Structure 1
């Protein structure tokens, strides 16, 4: 009887330890996963309201050779979310800065939308 009780207590102790380890793994994952992914659908709306006047369909009405098409994004090293976010926030040449007009989240969403559309050839 003592042996059975000892085994049950030991098993119960192992289950507690396993539960604690599992909880730590889940908490670690929750704390280290990246922030919510950018929302390209939201980015489409923001792009339409703020960027489409100059960049409708991925074109560029000011500098025609610097479109938002994949080849040009690659050519001008603008083919990452970080590069697009920097450009949108700070502007460059004729492009105005949108820092202060758009939130960081909105700018991230626009970058996701631009990259998504470039990958689909703006169709």
Structure 2
């Protein structure tokens, strides 16, 4: 009986991995559109109109521990201080795309 259950569970696991859809790649181009619609009013050009020193430039992101996809996703989703949470306004894929856009722009110094 135990062997049958193990075989069934193994079959389910193989089926799940074989037919699951691959993770979506981050889409910085879509992130630019979402950023423009939701973030640019405070962060145009990587700036921060509320707290100038906490901008989206690579140096500031590194200084404040936000130069990673995980940290930026958390910041966008939950908000912090003057930044509102967008977790209820944007889909997770949109947040991931904005994150890809922010990191790519930070690497180019927002040029």
> TM (normalized to structure 1)?
0.73
Structure with the larger helix share: 1
Is 2:54 the counterpart of 1:62? no
Structure number with greater Rg is 1
> How far apart in 2 are the matches of 1:58 and 1:116?
11
**Root-mean-square deviation over aligned CA pairs:** 1.9
Is 2:99 the counterpart of 1:111? yes
Number of residues of Structure 1 aligned to a counterpart in Structure 2 = 97
Unaligned runs of 5+ residues in structure 2 are 1-13
Unaligned runs of 5+ residues in structure 1 are 1-23
Could you give the per-residue CA deviations for residues 65-94 of structure 1, whole angstroms, max 9, x where no partner exists? 001000001100100011000000000001
Is 2:27 the counterpart of 1:36? no
